[in-house]
Each structure stands twice: as C-alpha cells, then as structure tokens.
Amino acid sequence: MASIYLLAFSMEVLAYDSYISSQQATNYYAKKVSLNKLL
C-alpha cells in the first residue's frame, strides 16, 4: 500500500514497528520512525 500512496500522492509513508529494520521498511517504500515521532 505504501508504494501506491507514494506514487499516486507523493506522500511520505511513516511506519513504526519494533520488529523490522529500517532497511525492511525502505523495501516497502516506508520510512521507519520512532513511536513518539509517529504520534
């Protein structure tokens, strides 16, 4: 879904997950951020 938002709306997709790395998030076109930043 993140790739659709990125391409269609030029949105930056932010994500928080304590189990995945920043590289894994990047593979899905998302930027991993801390929970505090996301909220």
Identify the domain containing residue 26 by its residue range. Answer: 2-38
Identify each DSSP E strand in the chain by its residue range. Answer: 14-15, 31-32
**Looking at the 3D structure of the chain, how many domains does it have?**
1
| 14-30 pLDDT, tens digit each | 999 999 999 999 998 89
Global pTM reads 0.70
Position 8 scores a pLDDT of 78
Exposed / middle / buried, residue 4 (Cβ in 10 Å: 0-12, 13-18, 19+): exposed
State the Cα–Cα distance between residues 2 and 29, nearest whole angstrom: 6
Q: Which residue has the higher pLDDT, 18 or 10?
A: 18
How far lies 36's CA from each of 11, 24, 27, 30, 33, in Å?
Answer: 20, 20, 23, 17, 8
- What value does the mean pLDDT of the chain take? 88
Would you place residue 33 in the very low, low, confident or very high pLDDT band (cuts 50, 70, 90)? very high
